[in-house]
Amino acid sequence: MAPPAAIRWFAVVSALMLFHLITTSTAIYCDEDDCYDLLGVTQSANTSEIKKAYYKLSLKHHPDKNPDPESKKLFVKVANAYEVLGIM
């Protein structure tokens, strides 16, 4: 005898929710921003590309080179993103 429709429905929904929880996201977040987006690289970027993007952005937004307060905030975010992605 087959289980009632409500039990089958519950089993299917539970399996889908479990699958959703198990699958990992490929995005890596630095606070509320995606680290890859901050550095302007794709998620398939290798360490050399990440390093090059970081150096380019850090020269542009470093507080000694750019006195804008928003630029300083972006520099801190970029440095954090590089630190997070560099460890991987």
Give the Cα separation of 54 and 13 in Å (integer): 43
Using a cut of 0.85, tell me whether the model's pTM lies above it. Answer: no
pLDDT digits (tens, 9 = 90+) for 36-75: 999 999 988 899 999 999 999 999 999 999 999 999 999 9
Indicate whether 4 belongs to any domain: no
Indicate whether 66 belongs to any domain: yes
* Tally of domains within the chain: 1
Indicate whether 57 belongs to any domain: yes
Indicate whether 64 belongs to any domain: yes
Q: Contact at 8 Å (CB) between 54 and 78?
A: yes
CATH of the domain at 32: 1.10.287.110
E strands, the chain, where?
29-30, 33-34
Indicate whether 74 belongs to any domain: yes
Indicate whether 16 belongs to any domain: no
Confidence category of residue 11, pLDDT binned at 50, 70, 90: confident
Indicate whether 50 belongs to any domain: yes
Residue bearing tokens 């890596």: 28
Indicate whether 39 belongs to any domain: yes
The more confident residue out of 12 and 82 is 82
Q: Is 57 buried (19+), middle (13-18) or exposed (0-12) by CB count in 10 A?
A: buried
Domain enclosing residue 42, as ranges: 26-87
